[in-house]
Amino acid sequence: MTSLASRLGSVWPPLVTGALILGVWEALVAGLGIQEFVLPKPSSIVQAVGTEWEGLRTAGIETGTIAVTGLILGVVGGLILALVVTRFGWLSDSLTPMAVAVNATPIIALAPIFNAWFGLTDDRSNQAVVVAVVFFPVFINTAKGLSSVDPDQIELMRSLAASERTILTRVRIPSAVPFFVTSLRLAAPLSVIAAIVAEYFGGPTNRLGPFITQNASFARYDNAWAAIVIASAIGLALFAVALLIERLAAPWRDGPTEG
Amino acid sequence: MPESSTQPAIQLKGISKIFNAGTDKEVRALEAIDLDIQPGQFISLIGPSGCGKSTLLRVIGDLIESTAGETKVFGKPAHQARLDRDYGMAFQKAGLFGWRTVAANIELPLELMGWDKTARKAKSAEMLDLVKLSDFGKHRPWQLSGGMQQRVAIARALSFSPQLLLMDEPFGALDEMTREHMQLELLRIHRETGTTVVFVTHSIPEAAFLSDRVVVLSPRPGRVHSVIEVDYGPGDRSDETRQMPEFFKKTTEVREALRAVEVAAGETL
């Protein structure tokens, strides 16, 4: 366990750097006389968050809900399919390479298709994009974790007359936990990106995506940036939760890996 | 040890194993192996790589099915002995579970056997004592050195007091000093528990130091070339044993048998 002091110590440098960047940004925009519609000052963006708070809050909750529900569905789906294909080896041989291939494609491009399938105003259109984006990394990583178990450990379990089911619960699943929580850490910020990009393709207007596009089209870039700040905050919050889960679920990873 | 009239711990009759039979990748790993191992004996299987010594160990443990022949462990078919959890197993890699503490690793077999928590705790404490790691029960495996991890693996294999211990080059990855220390520990545990040990190794001095009998296997297909009886007289084996003329004589005997095996294998190539 790292001490509190050293944890705080590792928090300070990025905070200081971040503050420094904001300071330079503010000074440059003011000093060089850059127009606010090109690049608003950080202080203007903070101000816009204040004045637009009501709209941003609603939009943030709407988009956040889509991202979180899609994230949960995608994670649960990826987890279940990983368990199923591990149980049946032949399924894994045929499905996993396909999943890897699909994962390499820009799934987000499916957004207009989902709009057509579920209807433009249906929450499921945007949720489906999030699910599709989150599902594959979770499935691929978890399936890899479930199958890449030390063969000696499997032999040991067999020598103890353990059933396949016992091997799954006592060896495969614990071995896969670090892989799963890592995929969760990758998937969490992806869910917010996917939700907002999906919203760019149309749908209900009380969300962060349309909030950004509409304000940008009226040259209210301070408001657009304010929405980006909210989106970033949601992404960071989900990432932090995933990080916390990773710490809690796989504490043995603090040590060097075996072998 | 005089040949007793009691039932052997392990009886191998005409064991053969062919991998990928009928394909061009066919490997005749074992052929017509006959071997009896008496209860309480320490047996080493030694031979050049590819002689099937690890395969033979896994046939005894019913982790690999032989193509022909009969394997009996304590008078039962090997399959039944595995289901009855009649043996413990240790490998070259400790193979400990990183998500479990050292004590919980040792308790794993007991969990599978349905022991209650109090009994498990008591037993793992006893086993930690046996392998001299009493202070490390709450540690994680990665906090231990390679030699200590291997001791935990041995404690795990012995936790449920099996009458047979199957070991596949358990000290192969250790440095020489640790290895010699572990050999003494293993002999002490063997004496204290009376467990029959089948020990796969490719180290000549290791086989000569530990064993009551050294079984020398020839490669492709693996056959029993010779069985060398080892007896250094009364008293426990110790580091002094390694200096005895009798020990040098035995290592030479094993070495010559291995040379003969390799020459014979070379001629058939």
- Assess if residue B5 is contained within a domain: no
Residue A166 has pLDDT above 80, yes or no: yes
Cβ contacts of B19 within 8 Å, gap of 6 or more: B25, B26, B27, B29
Mean pLDDT of chain B: 91
Percent of chain A with pLDDT over 90: 59
| B222 in the same domain as B120 | no
Per-residue pLDDT averaged across A8-37, rounded? 87
pLDDT higher at B198 or A14: B198
* Residue of chain B whose alpha carbon sits nearest to that of A169: B112
Chain position carrying tokens 């009996």: B72
| B174 in the same domain as B71 | yes
- Nearest beta carbon to residue B109 from set A150, A160, A256: A160
Instruction: Tell me which of A7-11, A109-113, A121-125, B10-14 is least confident.
Output: A7-11
Domain boundaries, chain A: 40-251
Contact B82 A158 (CB under 8 A): yes
Per-residue pLDDT averaged across B4-20, rounded? 87
Residue A259 has pLDDT above 50, yes or no: no
* Residue of chain A whose alpha carbon sits nearest to that of B99: A252
Positive or negative, the Cα torsion across B230, B236, B239, B245? negative
CATH number, domain with residue B168: 3.40.50.300
- Reported confidence tier of residue A174, pLDDT bands at 50, 70, 90: very high
Say if CB A127 and CB A68 are below 8 A apart: no
Best of B63, B73, B99, B138 to disrupt the A interface by mutation (most A CBs within 10 Å)?
B99
* Residue of chain B whose alpha carbon sits nearest to that of A174: B99
- Assess if residue B67 is contained within a domain: yes
| B218 in the same domain as B174 | yes
The DSSP bridge partners found for residue B27 are: B19
- Nearest beta carbon to residue A158 from set B63, B140, B143: B63
Residue B256 lies in domain: 10-86+164-268
A155 vs B contacts (CB less than 8 Å): 58, 63, 89, 91
What's the pLDDT tens digit per position in A40-53? 999 999 999 999 99
- Nearest beta carbon to residue A161 from set B85, B96, B141: B85
Number of independent structural domains in chain B: 2
* Residue of chain A whose alpha carbon sits nearest to that of B166: A159
Residue A258 has pLDDT above 50, yes or no: no
| B260 in the same domain as B171 | yes
pLDDT at residue number B196? 96
- Nearest beta carbon to residue A159 from set B82, B140, B142: B82
Percent of chain B with pLDDT over 70: 97
Ramachandran bin of B42, using left for φ above 0, alpha for ψ from -120 to 50, beta for the remaining angles: beta
pLDDT at residue number A4? 59
pLDDT at residue number B51? 85
| B178 in the same domain as B144 | no
Say how far apart CA B144 and CA B133 lie, in whole Å.
Answer: 10
Per-residue pLDDT averaged across A151-160, rounded? 93
Phi, psi of B32 (to 5 degrees): 45, 55
Per-residue pLDDT averaged across A33-37, rounded? 84
Say how far apart CA B212 and CA A232 lie, in whole Å.
Answer: 70
DSSP H helical segments within B51-132, as ranges?
A: 53-60, 78-83, 102-112, 117-130
Q: Which pTM was predicted? A: 0.80
Positive or negative, the Cα torsion across A104, A106, A108, A113? negative
- Reported confidence tier of residue B229, pLDDT bands at 50, 70, 90: very high
pLDDT at residue number B1? 45
| B172 in the same domain as B43 | yes
| B156 in the same domain as B62 | no
Instruction: Tell me which of A91-100, A130-139, B65-74 is least confident.
Output: A91-100
Contact A252 B98 (CB under 8 A): yes
Contact B95 A250 (CB under 8 A): no
Per-residue pLDDT averaged across B51-62, rounded? 93
| B109 in the same domain as B64 | no
Say how far apart CA B115 and CA B107 lie, in whole Å.
Answer: 9
Per-residue pLDDT averaged across B226-253, rounded? 91
pLDDT at residue number A37? 80
How many Å lie between the alpha carbon of B89 and the closest alpha carbon of chain A? 7
Contact A256 B142 (CB under 8 A): yes
- Reported confidence tier of residue A248, pLDDT bands at 50, 70, 90: confident
How many residue pairs bridge chain A and chain B with CB atoms within 8 Å of each other? 58
Per-residue pLDDT averaged across A18-32, rounded? 92
How many Å lie between the alpha carbon of B111 and the closest alpha carbon of chain A? 11
- Assess if residue B73 is contained within a domain: yes
- Burial-class residue B116 by CB neighbours within 10 Å (0-12, 13-18, 19+): exposed
- Reported confidence tier of residue B5, pLDDT bands at 50, 70, 90: low
pLDDT higher at B152 or B6: B152
- B→A contacts (Cβ < 8 Å), by residue, are 58, 61, 63, 82-85, 87-89, 91, 93, 95-99, 108-109, 112, 140-143, 166
Chain position carrying tokens 């869910």: A191
pLDDT at residue number B267? 60
pLDDT at residue number A1? 47
- Assess if residue B227 is contained within a domain: yes
- Assess if residue B1 is contained within a domain: no
pLDDT at residue number B89? 94
Q: Whose CA is closest to B169, among B160, B179, B177?
A: B179
pLDDT at residue number A179? 93
Residue A245 host element (H or E): helix A221-249
Best of A156, A171, A181, A257 to disrupt the B interface by mutation (most B CBs within 10 Å)?
A156
The DSSP line for chain B is -PPPSSPPSEEEEEEEEEETTTSTT-EEEEEEEEEEE-TT-EEEEE-STTSSHHHHHHHHTTSS--SEEEEEETTEEHHHHHHTT-EEEE-SS----TTS-HHHHHHHHHHHTT--HHHHHHHHHHHHHHTT-GGGTTS-GGGS-HHHHHHHHHHHHHTT--SEEEEESTTTTS-HHHHHHHHHHHHHHHHHH--EEEEE---HHHHHHH-SEEEEEETTTBEEEEEEE----SS---GGGGGSHHHHHHHHHHHHHHHHHHHHHHHH-
Contact A160 B112 (CB under 8 A): yes
What's the pLDDT tens digit per position in B139-151? 999 999 988 999 9
| B60 in the same domain as B100 | no
What's the pLDDT tens digit per position in B14-52? 999 999 988 888 888 999 999 999 999 999 999 988 788
Tokens representing A26 are 């503010």
Contact A255 B63 (CB under 8 A): no
- Nearest beta carbon to residue B99 from set A150, A174, A259: A174
pLDDT at residue number A7? 62
Q: What is the ipTM of this complex?
A: 0.88
Instruction: Tell me which of A79-93, B33-47, B81-95, B208-222 is least confident.
Output: A79-93
- Reported confidence tier of residue A100, pLDDT bands at 50, 70, 90: confident
Q: Which CATH superfamily is domain A40-251 in?
A: MetI-like (1.10.3720.10)
Percent of chain A with pLDDT over 70: 93
| B112 in the same domain as B27 | no
What's the pLDDT tens digit per position in B174-196? 888 888 988 998 999 899 889 99
Instruction: Tell me which of A178-182, A250-254, B87-91 is least confident.
Output: A250-254
Residue B269 has pLDDT above 90, yes or no: no
| B80 in the same domain as B141 | no
| B131 in the same domain as B184 | no
3-state secondary structure (DSSP) of residue B49? coil
pLDDT at residue number A171? 93
Tokens representing A163 are 């059933």
- Assess if residue B2 is contained within a domain: no
pLDDT at residue number A257? 44
What's the pLDDT tens digit per position in A128-151? 999 999 999 999 999 999 988 888
How many Å lie between the alpha carbon of B169 and the closest alpha carbon of chain A? 13
